[in-house]
């Protein structure tokens, strides 16, 4: 009886898209993600890359119990009637060679086409496929990496302060990035490049991650959906029973909040 009640209390989605969890890294918000994973049931769960941060673990191995809980939860979900797809990104690149294989009923794919309930078709990939269209020179890339590491450190300390003062989570790193002209320019190039991939294949849109910037918009007639991350923004993309896509962000005060949801304008005839 308790199991039935718990199931009824959960939200239901046709599909859920999550990326950039970065398990094994210092900045993964595993607590929030575990609560989110326990809050819903879905027909399809897409893990859109950078689920395990093999780059971070190659520098310093760390695997807290909460990260293990996340993996157990994902495997548990895959044993139900939910189909789980894992689309490796750049931080879990070694798994790309296993494209076409299954791991405990989790299908590993480099990219896929997802069809929503309303018949639209979306290219689903991590997004590192677009790096050639976005990457700056080696020096600029090095500066960007070091700057991002510094932002994450600030975000980590700010998060600890928020926890101690019982205030809701807020991404300081995301806010600072939004004010940096160069970062915004790179994001725009990435959005155009990923939308181009979908347009070249005659699809309605693209669903991706990679840049840790949740957003939904229309670019040159193509729907662009970035599901964000679980390092800074703690966000996901969900498809409801009608086929509509919306972004949701975790809120530690009210569980799931849709304060960043973006309605896609009707396409011109």
DSSP letters spanning 100-112:
T-EETTEEE-SEE
pLDDT tens digits for 172-194? 455 556 555 556 787 899 999 99
- Who wins on pLDDT, 155 or 260? 155
Strand locations in 19-160 (E): 40-47, 83-86, 102-103, 106-108, 111-115, 121-125
With 0.95 as the threshold, say if the pTM is over it.
no
Percentage with pLDDT > 90 across the chain: 59
For residue 155, the model assigns a pLDDT of 59
**CA distance between the termini of the chain:** 50
Q: How far apart are CA 158 and CA 169, in angstroms?
A: 9
Which domains, and CATH codes, for the chain? Answer: 2-136+182-257 (3.60.21.10)
Bridge partners for 115 per DSSP: 121
Residue 130 in tokens? 């677009």
Among all chains, which residue has been given the structure tokens 């004010």? 179
Angle among Cα 139, 132, 225 to the nearest 5 degrees reads 115
């Amino acid at each position: 009886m308790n199991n039935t009640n718990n199931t009824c209390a959960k939200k239901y989605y046709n599909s859920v898209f999550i990326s950039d969890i970065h398990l094994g890294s210092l900045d993964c918000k595993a607590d929030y993600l575990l609560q989110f994973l326990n809050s819903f049931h879905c027909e399809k769960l897409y893990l859109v890359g950078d689920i395990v941060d093999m780059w971070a673990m190659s520098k310093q191995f760390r695997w807290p119990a909460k990260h293990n809980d996340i993996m157990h939860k994902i495997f548990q979900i895959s044993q139900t009637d939910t189909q789980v797809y894992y689309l490796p990104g750049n931080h879990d690149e070694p798994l790309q060679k296993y494209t076409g294989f299954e791991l405990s009923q989790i299908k590993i794919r480099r990219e896929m086409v997802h069809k929503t309930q309303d018949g639209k078709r979306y290219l689903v990939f991590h997004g590192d496929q677009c790096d050639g269209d976005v990457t700056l020179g080696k020096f600029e890339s090095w500066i960007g990496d070091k700057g991002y590491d510094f932002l994450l450190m600030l975000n980590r300390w700010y998060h600890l302060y928020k926890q101690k003062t019982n205030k809701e989570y807020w991404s300081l790193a995301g806010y600072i990035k939004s004010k940096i002209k160069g970062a915004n320019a790179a994001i725009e190039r990435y959005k155009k490049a990923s939308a181009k991939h979908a347009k070249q294949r005659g699809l309605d849109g693209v669903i991706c991650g990679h840049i840790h910037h949740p957003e939904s918009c229309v670019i040159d007639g193509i729907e662009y959906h970035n599901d964000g991350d679980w390092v800074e923004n703690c966000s996901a993309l969900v498809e409801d029973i009608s086929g509509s896509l919306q972004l949701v962000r975790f809120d530690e005060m009210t569980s799931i909040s849709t304060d960043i949801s973006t309605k896609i304008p009707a396409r011109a005839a």
